Amino acid sequence: MIKINNKVNIIKQYLKQKLKKMTSNSYPLLYSEYQLGNIILQNRIVMSPMTRSRAIDNVPNHLMETYYGERAGAGLIITEGVAPSPNGVGYPRIPGLYNQEQVEGWKKVTGAVHDKGGRIFVQLMHTGRITHPLNLPEDAEVVSASAIAATQTKMYTDQEGMQPLPVPRKVSKDEIAGLMEEFAQSAAYAIEAGFDGVELHVPTATCLSNF
């Protein structure tokens, strides 16, 4: 165990030295400003979305404010997947952006990033059938394009650990406009919360747009 810890410490020290060498003088293009639409990034480093499951009751909190604020040295941060509606919540403790309480929580996150010169986009993600009722807010339901369960996948729940995914309710054609409106409303909340743009998470492609 001691030998393993020593190796880990050696690797950490090596990485620290490598990061110290990655200065604006060593990589002038990487650390140069970049014009993205109508905003300017302080450098060309982008932090990709990484799920952290830290939003109790799906509301952004101080832990998330600290997490994103500490990473504001990147030119652009793209958040973890954020649910645009209660039905869109997939994993436990995923943050949402579909009510005013969540907007207020995200304001603290975007403020922490902007205070350090960073820019931040929110990734809106509706997980569809890849969820479990135990992870959903009250009155939410598992919905998808078809009533077919993802039988090869399981989902972690805080209450009962790993669980098989249920058969989702098939969304009707008449409901599609409502789903689109959920994304539009969430994007409006993103503007109110101080985000610099939105990334749409979909199965086959990603759409990136700044405000």
What mean pLDDT is predicted for residues 139-144?
A: 96
E strands, the chain, are 34-36, 39-41, 46-47, 76-82, 120-125, 143-144, 154-157, 161-164, 169-170, 197-201, 206-210
Percentage of residues of the chain with pLDDT beyond 70: 90
The parent domain of residue 17 ranges over 1-31
Do 131 and 175 fall into the same domain?
yes
Identify the pLDDT of residue 181: 97
Total-model pTM: 0.85
The CATH number linked to 201 is 3.20.20.70
User: Would you place residue 1 in the very low, low, confident or very high pLDDT band (cuts 50, 70, 90)?
Assistant: low
Do 86 and 179 fall into the same domain?
yes
User: Would you place residue 28 in the very low, low, confident or very high pLDDT band (cuts 50, 70, 90)?
Assistant: confident
Do 3 and 46 fall into the same domain?
no
What mean pLDDT is predicted for residues 107-117?
A: 98
Do 77 and 24 fall into the same domain?
no
- pLDDT single digits (tens) 161-170: 999 999 999 9
What mean pLDDT is predicted for residues 88-113?
A: 98
CA atoms within 13 A on the CB side of 176: 5
- pLDDT single digits (tens) 184-199: 999 999 999 999 999 9
Q: Which residue has the tokens 């001691």?
A: 2
User: Would you place residue 203 in the very low, low, confident or very high pLDDT band (cuts 50, 70, 90)?
Assistant: low
Report the mean per-residue pLDDT for the chain: 91
d(CA 54, CA 120): 18
- Show the tokens assigned to 43: 């450098």
d(CA 53, CA 157): 11
Cα–Cα–Cα angle for 124, 129, 135, rounded to 5 degrees: 75
Do 115 and 26 fall into the same domain?
no
Residues in the chain, overall count:
211
Q: Which residues make Cβ contacts (< 8 Å) with residue 76, sequence separation at least 6?
A: 36, 41, 45, 46, 47, 118, 119, 120, 121, 196
What mean pLDDT is predicted for residues 103-131?
A: 97
Do 77 and 10 fall into the same domain?
no
What mean pLDDT is predicted for residues 123-146?
A: 96
Q: Say how many domains are in the chain.
A: 2
Identify the pLDDT of residue 205: 47
